[in-house]
Copies of this chain bind each other. A is one copy, B any other.
Amino acid sequence: RINGARLWAALMELAKIGATAKGGVKRLALTDLDKQGRDLVVGWGREAGLSISIDQIGNVFMRRDGSDHTLAPVVTGSHIDTQPTGGKFDGNYGVLAGLEVVRTLNERNITTLAPIEVAFWTNEEGSRFVPVMMGSGVFCGAFSLETAYAATDTEGKSVGDELARIGYRGEQVPGRHPIGAYFETHIEQGPVLEDAGKVIGVVPAVMGLSWYDCVVSGMEAHAGPTPMGLRKDALQVATRIMQEVVAIAKRYPPYGRGTVGMVQVFPNSRNVIPGEVKFSIDLRNVNEALLNTMHEDMLAYIDQTRRDSGLAIGIERVSHYPPCPFHPECIDAVRRATAKLGYSSMDVVSGAGHDAIYAARLAPAGMIFIPCKDGISHNEIEDAQPGHLEAGCNVLLHAMLERAGV
């Protein structure tokens, strides 16, 4: 069994970097704070005797050798970047749970057959740079290193430059690093486990996702003298689409999701009719056919709105991954570990994307969820119970040991 107090202490220590007044964390990908967080975790890895390698997109792998050098490593990991108003556990838990597994194995002098690795992937959150889950996406070839390097934040700073600036643009070619199996522990980020009173979520699949940038172009004009009938108000047209995004998601329950999270209005002055509105659209479903139908519904609505309003409306898909079912062997390894340890459990479909879905393209993969308070994440008040964090980490230990062999 792992040491829950030590795991908790590591989580609280890492959460100090970028800590916000409201008890959350703001540690956006490839900022100075991300560098501080990375340095802290890498330091802990070295202290635990792990050998460190960094690839060209800044993914970090920390390796504990096994006895059989012909075997590919059993990898666990997640990310340490956060949302602008993020919490202490999202991502960080998956990385530090891996570190705690290693510390436990060290303490017990357990040598596995296959090597054990703890990874953290670059820019999982996708808040500062798109595509989301960038490090694991490049690693599995979902998109190219060049695409990722060229991605810029709202200030025009690029991933390539920012990686170099913080000293995490490594040498290793992404994906050249073999993986035997992959596990990831994570807070659920939804209310299902808490509502059901269960400790462990076994994750059969992750919802597919499509992200879009939508731009409505009208005509800036003065809010006073311009008669209502002569306006080309970009915001009035954009808000109709924003409402439809939610209506579409509600048409495809229980796993349809539709969200507009980001909006920019130009010129954003009280007495100017908006000339342009840019906003993001996030559509999800665990059923690929339904996700495609949602996509079609949205494009049809935008076509209709373009005709009705006479305004120009641009729509571009900027990120996409299909629903990802996990590997039966890994799902079963999680189930067996949970049963062996005597934790209550249930299946929980993941609405959030995780690096595990990209790792799953290269090796058998699975995930372990634990409850989070009120199902809330991507919020500074995100919270999780020490007992649940410990339980998830114990399940991880046993699932990894089963895969790696002792």
Contact = CB atoms under 8 A, between A and B. Distances in A.
A83 B270 CA distance: 10
Interface in A200-232: 207, 209, 211, 219-228, 230
Interface residues of A, number: 70
A375 B221 contact: yes
B189 A225 contact: yes
A204 to B, nearest CB: 14
A201 to B, nearest CB: 10
A46 interface: no
A378 interface: yes
B375 A223 contact: no
Contact of A222 (B130, B254, B378): B378
Given A85-B272, A222-B378, A223-B257, 18 more contacts: A84-B269, A85-B266, A85-B269, A125-B271, A189-B222, A191-B227, A221-B377, A223-B284, A223-B351, A224-B351, A225-B351, A225-B375, A235-B263, A236-B242, A261-B269, A270-B280, A271-B282, A273-B378
A378 B272 contact: yes
A188 interface: yes
Nearest to A212: B270
A100 interface: no
Interface string A232-274: 0101100110110010011001101111111101111111111
Interface string A70-87: 000000000000011100
A337 interface: no
Contacts of A378: 220-223, 269, 271-273
Contacts of A375: 221, 225-226, 230
A275 interface: yes
Interface string A320-361: 000000000000000000000000000000111100000000
B249 A242 contact: no
A225 B127 contact: no
A190 interface: yes
Contacts of A242: 235-236, 239
A388 to B, nearest CB: 16
A132 interface: yes
